[in-house]
Each structure stands twice: as C-alpha cells, then as structure tokens.
A and B are shown apart, each in its own frame.
Chain A
C-alpha cells in the first residue's frame, strides 16, 4: 500500500517539476523583481512598494486598464455572437458545408502580424474600406485616428478570433443528442424555442469556457495593437501587454516596473482562470 503511494507521487513528480520550472519560478521571480529597482544589466535593490505606488499614482495606469477591458470584452462579445451564428448555420446539413467550415478557420490560422499588415492596407485612407465608402458616396474614415482606433483594432481582433468560437460552439452543438430535438419537435416546439430551451442551455459549459479562454487571450493580445497603432494615437489603444512591453523594453527598460504592472493586473487573470475552471470542470 505504502509502495503504491510512493509510486503515485513518482508519477506526479515530473509534472510538478515542469510546473515549478515553467510557472512557479518565473512567477516568483516576477513578484520578487516588482519590489526592486534595477538598472539594465546591474544588480537589484529592494525598494518596497515604490514601483506599485508609482504605477497606481499615474493616470495612464487607469487608462490602460480601461482600454484593456473595453478591448477585451467588446471583442469577445462580438466574436461570441458571430461564432454562435456561424456555428448554428454550419451545423445544418447542406451541400458545401464542409468547404465552408474549413474556409471559416482561415482567419484564425493566419499569422497575427500578417493580419495586422493586411489591415494596415485596408484601413489606409485610400484602402479598400475607404474606396467602398467613397464609391457609395460616403466620406472616407480615419480608421486609425483617435476616434476610431479602438473600434478598428477590436474589428481586427474579431476578424481573426471568431473562428475559435465557431469551432468551440460547433463541437458543442454536435454533442447535443439529436433525440432531444426530435422529442421537442413531436411536442410542437418552434425553432426559436428549441434554440432557447435546448441549444443554448446545452452549450452553456462550452460557451463560458470558450468565452473565458478567449477573454484571457484577448487581454494578452500584443501583436494586433502593437503593429496597428503602437498603443496610440493619444494612448487610446494602449493596453496592458503593449504598456508592459514599453515599460520593460523601451522607456528606461524598467523590468521591475513592468513586473509591478503585471502583478497589479494578475487578480483579473486569476478571476478569469477561476471561472474557466469552474465552468469547464464544474468545480473550483
């Protein structure tokens, strides 16, 4: 019996070792460095909560948080709507369904930098979008100007990310037993009622899991914003990853301050992780 227990732990040890190396040590280091002052290439000096105080006292921190939340929640909401709509559509049987399903995944498979560059061209003053607008007699728009920069980067994120929702929802839809729909039909349920009382409740777990995972990824999206706007104009699209990057690798290369910024936003991620675990596995 005792030997069995030791064997159990031996099986678990490699995983624990890997988790320690790739997760616990870097997180611990980030936490430790956030209390230090450190010039590039030199030793660290303990300065207590100064980095946190500096960040919390800067107006830009609240701009960054607000931008990140607007960017992430709007993008995820729209992606979920599109993903659900397309999944419902492509869950039906019709000729060419397989081709359409495969075609839908292309945006998700495209490299993020290529998508960003593609949209730089589309958003150009004389790009395709403005050509269409002027063709139908509307004025050209400044997509990456201060007023439209945030919706424009959200649009790019949605364009690239909705297939993930589609795939998740489609697999969820296929897992719903057909018999339930057949019973509902016998009882005279309308399409709408079947959607509300069968489809959506059965998709609940998949829905929350996909949304929360996507929320975390969208909050961490760096490439789209960095390449399209660099966080500007006028900091209108400055989000946590872009701001941390500039803090760590550009302005004075203050890795401790970048670490403090990340630690300050860690609770948001922890809550999201907690929710993912809760909805995905039904326990905390």
Chain B
C-alpha cells in the first residue's frame, strides 16, 4: 500500500523559510563577529609608518610615497601577509605569458610580497573583471587587460603618471601615451604594439605582377582584384565581415573609414557625436561592399569568426589580409614554407595599432604602491622586456619604448629571423601609426570609454554587416549608428 506524502500547509512553509533566513543571518553575524573589519589609514606623506598593535605584535611598514597603510586592528590576529592579486590576459604567444609569470615571481622573491598571478583567456578576462568589480573584489593589478578607458571613466583605476615617469616618459612613444590617457590623466600602461599590418603572399603577387606594398585604398583594391583567382580557390583580400567574437572585421572597417577621413566624435559629449553627417562612413561602406559584392573576399566572410582569416590565410585561400601578428606567428611556428612566401607591410595610409592591452591598478587595491612597483619592475629593464616579451615571441609584440625599438630596427636591418618578412622597417611602421580602433576615437584622438563598450560588444561589426552584407540603406545604418553612440554618450558624458 502506498502512503500519500504528508502535506505541509502554507503558513508552516513560510515560517520554515523565515527560520532559514534567520539562521543565515545569525551565521553571517557570527562570521563577521569572528573576523574583525580591516581599518584603512591613509598616510599622505613619505614616511616610515610604525603601527603598534596592542599586546601581541608590532607591524612596521616602509612607505616610500603617498600611500595607504593597512593594519588589522585586533589584539589576537597576527599581521596580514601582503598579497597582490594579478590578473593577466593570456596572450596568444606562450613566451609573453611565461615572461609575465617569470617577472612577477622575481619581483615577489625580491620584495617578499606574495603575488598570485592568474592567466585568463582573452574572451573571459573582461566579463570576469566586470563580475569582480560588481562583486567588489577586483584584482589589484591587471596586466594586458582591456577596457581601461571605461574603467578609468568610472573612477575604478588609479592614475599612473608616476609609473610612466619612472619608466621614462620621453622614451615611450607618444601614441601609446595617448592610448593611456583618459580625461588628461594617465591611467594605464599599454605594454606593446600589436599592429594590424597587411600580410600578403609574395609568390602570388610576383606571379600576377602586383606591386607591394599598396600605398592607397585604390591600390589595395586593385591588388585584391589582381590576386583573386577563384578557379584556384584564391581570393585577393580576406575582409572579415562576420560578427562572431571577431574584432578583425570592425578594425578593418574602421581603418578604411579613417583612411577616408572618418569622423566619430569631436568632443566627449553626446553633442560631439558627428557620425550622422560623416560622408566617409558612406564611402567606407561603398569601399567594403566592393570587396564583398565583387567576390574579392571569400563568400563565407560574412560568417567569419576571430580565427577565420587566420585559417584562410594559412590554408592559402586568401592572398592578403589585415591582422595582428598571429597569422605570421602561426606560419613561422607551424608552416615555415608558407612563412617564407609571406610578407608583412604597413597598411595603406596608416597601420592600425591593435595593442590596446594595458596594465592598470584598481583603486580598490590595498597595495597601490606595491602594485605600481610591480609594473615598474616589469618594464623598467627595457632590454629584458624587449628580449623576453617581444623578441622571444618572434616580435608578435613590438616594444613601446623608442630605445628598444631602435634595437629592433637594427635587427631588421641585419635580417634577423622573425623580422625577415617585414618589407618596411618596423620602427618606421610604428612611428607612422595614427589610429587605434577600440578606444582612441577620431578626430578627437582621445580615449573614449563608450567606444570600448561598442567595440568589444562587436556592435561596430554589426552596423558594418547591416550596411555591407544586409545591403541596408547606408544612410539609415549611419543614422542608427549615430543614435546608438549619442545614446551611450548622453548616459555617460551628458
């Protein structure tokens, strides 16, 4: 015989729920009671701070600059061990990750401060940071991180002018300093150049008599036309037109837009958004449409994801594309025969710098000075940085220091491996860089946080797709794009 389960009436159920909540509250109160709150004392002067903790111990902290000294006020708890939490974007190049870990470890050994380094995959870093910020537990330092402009605009970062001065402000390319400056103050250290250069198959170009490098948008278009050979399954230019987690497409579109004189914002306000009157947007759409409609880019480019133009180039299906150095790095390490047929060139007009990844320190950090010291330690020895971070990664990353770049230039002149494919001296390319796609908005030429939001949500790619692949009226797309930027600007800047 089966028994009916006993029914619980609603009132009792509610009482039980309240009981559970009460238990949780008691538990939480007990937890707080057993863990005394941390008291933070701000010391505005250079000094040696000695804090006496009653009855048990004495904590002595040397403070070299304006700083925050943290002491746990308790009669029984021992002094807290200093620990820096470092989140680093896991770079495409293993050598970069190894170098970051090695340098952090060295610093930890030298200072006696514990460092916890977490390498986080590219796609996960920003969501993790946002979640941690909302939870009130961001790391102390982020190396190679994204969206510093957004974070700085929300008051979440500390200024790094002193760090930049210590690293030698005059030795850092002014363009990189511009990428680091938000509302007139430096909030981050962009740690490398990651150029969106033009890659081409020299063997195919020679066979078709195409002159490299192309020096104008028209020359690039003509080169793409000449190199397209659909019978052989080769398309002239891989233009990423997808929206699948892919910044390559919107960077290429932005590059074309800027080349044609694109204007997005003239001031950091909703009134400063000028997209709706910008003819260059329509020209950039028309230019991009030529590649799509004339079949100069593979017919599946509208569904490409981040890896697609890499795969297509490596598999020999596209003769040219614009991309960060990952393609050439893959060729060197996995397909050296193809690497020998590939050349790297500046893009016409100016090459985009995709190296927006930056080091920054969260204002919530208890150890701001120590964090600053770590960043200085990482990059102070410029030769170590050039060799360990840049050269060991086959120059996937190019140095941000002029002095280090001088060495790279000399190595290029000597035909050093890793730089052989460059048709033009990398130093000259770096010095001619005018644009960065994710936060340096033109013609304002300043970091704009809302642009980072749009860029990393791939919304620029979305508008490009509507106008190019969806064949929507470009003027309507331009208006929608304008309204979107105005809406975001209104909310953040007024």
- A53, chain B: closest CB distance, angstroms: 14
Q: What does the 1/0 interface line of B240-259 toward A look like (CB < 8 Å)?
A: 01111110000000000000
Q: A42-B154, A234-B469, A255-B134 in contact; A20/B20 too (CB < 8 A)?
A: yes
Query: Are A17 and B23 interface neighbours, CB within 8 A?
Result: yes
Query: Are A41 and B20 interface neighbours, CB within 8 A?
Result: no
Query: Are B305 and A39 interface neighbours, CB within 8 A?
Result: no
Query: Are A126 and B315 interface neighbours, CB within 8 A?
Result: yes
Query: Are A41 and B134 interface neighbours, CB within 8 A?
Result: yes
Q: Which residue of B lies closest to A13 (CB)?
A: B20
Cβ-based interface call for A277 (8 A): no
Cβ-based interface call for B330 (8 A): no
- A109, chain B: closest CB distance, angstroms: 23
Query: Are B305 and A40 interface neighbours, CB within 8 A?
Result: no
Cβ-based interface call for A249 (8 A): yes
Chain A positions within 8 Å of B24 at CB level: 17, 20-21
Cβ-based interface call for A253 (8 A): yes
- B482, chain A: closest CB distance, angstroms: 16
Q: What does the 1/0 interface line of B442-458 toward A look like (CB < 8 Å)?
A: 00000000100110111
Q: Which residue of B lies closest to A152 (CB)?
A: B303
- A223, chain B: closest CB distance, angstroms: 11
- A10, chain B: closest CB distance, angstroms: 9
Query: Are B465 and A20 interface neighbours, CB within 8 A?
Result: no
Q: A230-B243, A250-B126, A253-B150 in contact; A16/B20 too (CB < 8 A)?
A: yes
Distance between Cα atoms of A124 and B491 in the complex (Å): 41
Q: What does the 1/0 interface line of B127-153 toward A look like (CB < 8 Å)?
A: 100110110000000000000001100
Contact of A234 among B308, B466, B491 (CB under 8 A): B466
Chain A positions within 8 Å of B134 at CB level: 40-41, 255
* Interface stretch (choices B37-45, B102-110, B294-302): B294-302
Distance between Cα atoms of A9 and B311 in the complex (Å): 61
Query: Are B302 and A145 interface neighbours, CB within 8 A?
Result: yes
Cβ-based interface call for B233 (8 A): yes
Query: Are B300 and A249 interface neighbours, CB within 8 A?
Result: no
Cβ-based interface call for B462 (8 A): yes
Q: Which residue of A lies closest to B245 (CB)?
A: A230
Chain B positions within 8 Å of A233 at CB level: 241-243, 302-303, 465, 469
Query: Are B130 and A249 interface neighbours, CB within 8 A?
Result: yes
Q: What does the 1/0 interface line of A15-40 toward B look like (CB < 8 Å)?
A: 01101110000000000000000011
A residues near B, CB below 8 A? Answer: 9, 12-13, 16-17, 19-21, 39-42, 120, 123-126, 140, 142-146, 149, 226-235, 245-246, 248-253, 255
Q: Could you give 29 example pairs across A and B, Cβ below 8 Å? A: A9-B12, A9-B16, A9-B19, A13-B20, A21-B24, A39-B154, A40-B134, A40-B156, A41-B151, A41-B156, A42-B154, A42-B155, A120-B308, A124-B300, A227-B245, A227-B305, A229-B305, A230-B242, A232-B243, A233-B242, A233-B243, A233-B302, A233-B303, A233-B465, A234-B466, A246-B457, A249-B130, A251-B457, A252-B450
